[in-house]
C-alpha cells in the first residue's frame, strides 16, 4: 500500500478487485489512477493470461487460495472493510466461491458490488462464453463498422472497454454516491452487450430521423463521406481528415486544390465516390509530413495517422504529458484531469502484498 498520502478525487475509497482480463483490470486501473485504494485478489502463483504491467498498475496484488477456508474468510473480512468490489467472472462463479452479493452484503450493507460480464447476470446467454466481437454483434455496433463488403472488429474498444469497463466505472461510482446518501449498497450489473448498445444511441437517433443508411461506407461517420476518412500520401503514410462543418471543409478545399465544382460534390451523396477519388489523387501527390506541416494547425481537421510507438512523440501529446514511463514501460498517464484534486502525474507501480498486510492497511471502519 502507498506510504505517502494518495492524491486524486477518489483518495480514501477502498475497492477490492478480483483479477481477470480485459475490462475489469482496466476499470481497476481507472479507480487506482483516480486515487482509490485498490487491492487485487488473485490465485497464488497465477501467471497473467496477458501482460498486465500497465493495466495492473497502481494497486497491490494479494494471493489468496479461495478454496482454503482460512484464505476465504480473510478475503471476506477484507471486503467487509471495503467500499466496493469489482469482478469479471461468468455469472454464478462468485456465488460458487462463497463470495456472492448476499454473503458479502450481509457483512457489509454499504458494499457496492460491481459485476462485469459480456452478457449480464440475466438473460438466455448469461451462462454462455463470448468475447467483445459477440457482445457488439447483437446490438448493432459491429454491423455499422468496417468496409462495405464486411463488418470489421474495431479492436476490442467498443465492447470490452467502452461498453464494458467505462460503464462499470460509472455505475460503481453512481452506486457509491447512493450508498453515501442512504447507507445501503447495491449490485451493479454491467454487461458489455448493454453498454455497447448504449454507445450506439446517437446512430439509432440518426436512423430514426432518416439520417443513417444501414449500409457501411455510405454515411457521414462510417467512411462513406469523402471529407471524413483516411488518405494515403506519396510516402505511403496516411493522414486523417475530418472537416465536417462547411467552414472547415473550405479550409481543406483551398489547401489541397479542389475546384469549386469538385468541392460542391460534398452536398451530393451520389457523387461522394467521385469526390473521394479526387481527394485521394490530390493527397497522394505529397508526403504525409508536408500535409501535416501545412494543415495540422489549421481548421482543416487534418492529423497524421500514427502508430502506437509514434503516438507518445506527437508534440501535442508530449506537451500535455499524455504518456509517462513507469517501471520501464511507456504508458498512458491517468485521465481525466482534475483541477481541485489532481491525480498523480505518474501512476503508482504495482506491488505484491500479503493478505495480513492488506488487512492491517484497512482497519475496520
The CATH number of the domain holding residue 299 is: 3.30.1540.10
313 assigned to some structural domain: no
Angle between helices 166-182 and 192-199 (to 10 degrees): 100
How many domains are contained in the chain? 2
Residue 115 grid cell: 459485476
Of 276, 304, 332, which residue constitutes the final position of a domain?
A: 304
227 assigned to some structural domain: no
Catalytic residues: 131, 160
Question: What is the full per-residue pLDDT of the chain (365 aa) written as tens digits?
Answer: 555 567 899 999 999 999 999 999 999 999 999 999 999 999 998 887 777 889 999 999 999 999 999 999 999 999 999 999 999 999 999 999 999 999 999 999 999 999 999 999 999 999 999 999 999 999 999 999 999 999 999 999 999 999 999 999 999 999 999 999 999 999 999 999 999 999 999 999 999 999 999 999 999 999 999 999 999 999 999 999 999 999 999 999 999 999 999 999 999 999 999 999 999 999 999 999 999 999 999 999 999 999 999 999 999 999 999 999 988 889 999 999 999 999 987 777 788 899 999 999 999 98
Give the angle subtended at the CA of 229 by the CAs of 228 and 232, to the nearest 5°: 140
Q: How far apart are CA 252 and CA 263, in angstroms?
A: 10
Residue 195 and residue 261 in one domain: no
117 assigned to some structural domain: yes
Q: How far apart are CA 327 and CA 286, in angstroms?
A: 40
Closest CA relative to residue 27, chosen from 142, 140, 100, 116: 116
Q: Is the distance from CB of 158 to CB of 151 less than 8 angstroms?
A: no
> For the chain, what is the total number of helices (H) and then of strands (E)?
14, 12
Residue 299 and residue 349 in one domain: no
Q: Tell me the pairing of strands 37-42 and 14-18.
A: parallel
Residue 103 and residue 169 in one domain: yes
Amino acid at each position: 500500500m502507498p506510504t505517502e498520502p494518495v492524491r486524486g478525487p477518489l483518495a480514501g475509497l477502498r475497492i477490492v478487485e478480483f483479477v481477470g482480463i480485459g475490462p475489469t483490470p482496466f476499470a481497476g486501473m481507472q479507480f487506482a489512477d483516480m486515487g482509490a485504494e485498490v487491492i487485487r485478489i488473485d490465485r497464488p502463483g497465477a501467471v497473467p493470461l496477458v501482460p498486465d504491467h500497465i493495466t495492473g498498475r497502481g494497486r497491490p496484488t494479494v494471493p489468496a487460495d479461495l478454496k482454503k477456508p482460512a484464505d476465504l474468510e480473510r478475503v471476506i473480512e477484507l471486503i467487509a472493510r471495503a467500499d466496493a468490489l469489482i469482478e469479471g467472472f461468468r455469472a454464478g462463479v462468485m456465488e460458487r466461491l462463497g463470495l456472492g452479493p448476499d454473503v458479502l452484503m450481509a457483512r457489509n450493507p454499504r458494499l457496492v458490488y460491481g459485476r462485469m460480464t459480456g452478457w449480464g447476470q440475466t438473460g438466455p446467454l448469461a451462462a454462455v462464453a463470448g468475447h467483445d466481437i459477440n457482445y457488439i454483434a447483437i446490438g448493432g455496433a459491429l454491423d455499422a463498422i468496417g468496409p462495405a463488403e464486411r463488418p470489421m472488429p474495431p479492436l476490442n474498444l467498443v465492447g470490452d472497454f467502452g461498453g464494458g469497463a467505462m460503464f462499470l466505472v460509472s455505475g460503481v461510482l453512481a452506486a457509491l454516491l447512493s450508498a453515501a446518501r442512504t447507507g445501503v449498497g447495491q449490485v451493479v450489473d454491467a454487461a458489455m452487450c448493454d453498454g455497447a448498445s448504449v454507445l450506439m444511441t446517437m446512430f439509432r437517433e440518426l436512423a430514426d430521423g432518416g439520417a443513417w443508411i444501414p449500409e457501411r461506407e455510405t454515411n457521414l461517420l462510417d467512411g462513406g463521406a469523402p471529407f471524413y476518412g483516411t488518405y494515403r500520401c506519396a510516402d505511403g503514410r496516411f493522414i486523417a481528415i475530418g472537416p465536417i462543418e462547411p467552414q472547415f471543409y473550405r479550409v481543406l478545399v483551398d489547401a489541397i486544390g479542389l475546384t469549386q465544382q469538385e468541392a460542391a460534390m460534398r452536398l451530393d451523396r451520389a457523387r461522394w465516390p467521385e469526390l473521394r477519388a479526387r481527394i485521394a489523387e490530390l493527397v497522394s501527390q505529397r508526403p504525409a509530413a508536408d500535409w501535416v506541416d501545412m494543415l495540422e494547425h489549421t481548421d482543416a481537421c487534418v492529423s497524421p495517422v500514427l502508430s502506437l510507438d509514434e503516438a507518445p512523440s506527437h508534440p501535442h501529446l508530449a506537451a500535455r504529458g499524455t504518456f509517462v514511463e513507469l517501471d520501464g514501460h511507456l504508458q498512458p498517464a491517468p485521465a481525466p484531469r482534475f483541477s481541485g484534486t489532481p491525480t498523480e502525474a505518474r501512476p503508482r507501480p504495482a506491488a505484491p502484498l500479503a493478505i495480513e498486510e492488506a488487512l492491517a492497511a484497512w482497519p475496520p471502519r
